[in-house]
């Protein structure tokens, strides 16, 4: 019976940030349909599955309630938190995850978790027909990276009031849409929201992988390589980022809120 945890990521308090389920497996991947069924049952933005291999690394996969995804920040943060908390990884160990996006690492630093992820910068792009109408915005900038469209809107207040048409947005040929704006709060450098109805998540509370794009974008605009982002969802969450060439550090905290086990 695999242990199962629910962890709120990119927050230092329960019931904020982005919840992820973490399932600790024995020593191999179970049937994909079973893992997808578990993710659908959890009905969270992501459910992560992992175990420790004989070489010490951790294979890691992420599933939304509907599909498997190639990169997920908050569920990786949650998984690292669980591995340290459960004593599976040593307190001072750098955790290495083997994923569809290559090797990702997690390190403990001063009570926070630092993830080393690939940068996913956006390039200027024309929006596909209907995308801007579905989001309900006339953006200052439109870009696209491997996964998502990036839209910069005029202000933080405009960002907060976006009410996308999720049914129309689900038809867009992309994983999701990152909407972002300059911060109107001195504690943060930029704000964002993330919409991904095509993969079963209308609005994600805090999206680590989106910050692999946002970090590069705002570093270029603001002329700094260390920034603090706030994802302005209903739950809200803080992601500190550092841009290092083709890599991005994602830094945050996590809190376990549920501990249990899956029954056969």
46 labelled catalytic = yes
Q: Distance between CA atoms of 2 and 207, rounded to whole angstroms?
A: 26
Buried b (16+ CB within 10 A) or exposed e, 183-220: beeeebbbbbbbbbbbbbbebbbbbbbbbbbbbbbbbe
Q: What is the Cα 187 distance to its own chain's centre?
A: 21
Report the distance separating Cα 76 and Cα 97, nearest Å: 9
Closest Cα partner for 89 from 111, 106, 71, 110? Answer: 106
Q: Which of 41, 46, 133, 152 is catalytic?
A: 46
Burial of 22 (0-12, 13-18, 19+ CB in 10 A): buried
Buried b (16+ CB within 10 A) or exposed e, 86-106: eebbeeeeebbbebebeebbb
Distant-in-sequence, close-in-space partners of 117: CB < 8 Å, separation ≥ 6: 71, 73, 76, 101, 104, 208, 209, 212, 247, 248, 249, 250
By annotation, the residues acting in catalysis are 46
């Amino acid at each position: 019976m695999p242990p199962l945890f629910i962890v709120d990521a990119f927050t230092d308090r329960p019931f904020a940030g982005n919840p992820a389920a973490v399932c600790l497996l024995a020593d191999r991947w179970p049937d994909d349909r079973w893992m997808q069924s578990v993710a659908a049952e959890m009905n969270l933005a992501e459910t992560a599955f992992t175990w420790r291999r004989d070489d010490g690394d951790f294979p890691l996969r992420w599933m939304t309630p509907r599909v498997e995804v190639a990169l997920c920040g908050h569920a990786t943060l949650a998984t690292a938190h669980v591995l340290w908390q459960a004593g599976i990884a040593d307190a001072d160990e750098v955790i290495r995850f083997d994923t569809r996006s290559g090797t990702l690492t997690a390190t403990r630093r001063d009570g926070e978790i630092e993830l080393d992820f690939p940068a996913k910068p956006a390039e200027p792009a024309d929006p596909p027909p209907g995308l801007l109408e579905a989001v309900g915005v006339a953006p200052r900038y439109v870009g696209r990276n491997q996964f998502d469209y990036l839209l910069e809107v005029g202000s933080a207040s405009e960002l907060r009031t976006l009410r996308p048409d999720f049914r129309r947005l689900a038809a867009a040929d992309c994983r999701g849409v990152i909407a972002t704006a300059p911060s109107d709060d001195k504690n943060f450098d930029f704000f964002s929201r993330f919409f991904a109805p095509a993969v079963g998540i209308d609005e994600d509370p805090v999206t680590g992988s989106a910050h692999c794009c946002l970090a590069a974008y705002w570093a270029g605009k603001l002329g700094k390589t260390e920034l603090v982002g706030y994802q302005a969802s209903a739950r809200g969450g803080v992601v500190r980022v550092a841009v290092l060439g083709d890599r991005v550090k994602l830094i945050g905290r996590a809190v376990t809120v549920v501990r249990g086990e899956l029954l056969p």
